[in-house]
């Protein structure tokens, strides 16, 4: 079986890249709570769910997006 590839399967080289360090402090209500460090910007972001963690990282890398930093 031949595998098909498409340009849409590859990351956009123009998109920003980032390094994130994730620390899970708790696992309550079937999800994670903790903090993520955006290494390039030296920012610490708190998250209350795995979905929020993904959203924060996506916003950090998005073009023209504002990253909301929650107080510790």
pLDDT tens for 22-69 read 999 999 888 999 999 988 888 898 999 999 999 998 888 875 455 555
pLDDT-derived band of residue 17, with 50, 70 and 90 as boundaries? confident
Span 10-25, average pLDDT: 75
pLDDT at 63: 55
First CA to last CA distance, the chain? 52
Torsions phi, psi of 66, nearest 5? -95, 130
Q: Give CA–CA dist 34/49, Å, rounded.
A: 8
Would the pTM of this model clear 0.75, i.e. be above it?
Answer: no
């Amino acid at each position: 079986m031949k595998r098909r590839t498409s340009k849409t399967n590859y990351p956009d080289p123009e998109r920003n890249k980032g390094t994130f360090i994730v620390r899970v402090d708790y696992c309550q209500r079937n999800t994670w709570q903790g903090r993520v460090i955006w290494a390039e910007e030296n920012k610490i972001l708190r998250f209350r769910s795995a979905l929020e963690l993904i959203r924060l990282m996506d916003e950090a890398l998005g073009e023209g997006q504002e990253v909301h930093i929650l107080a510790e």
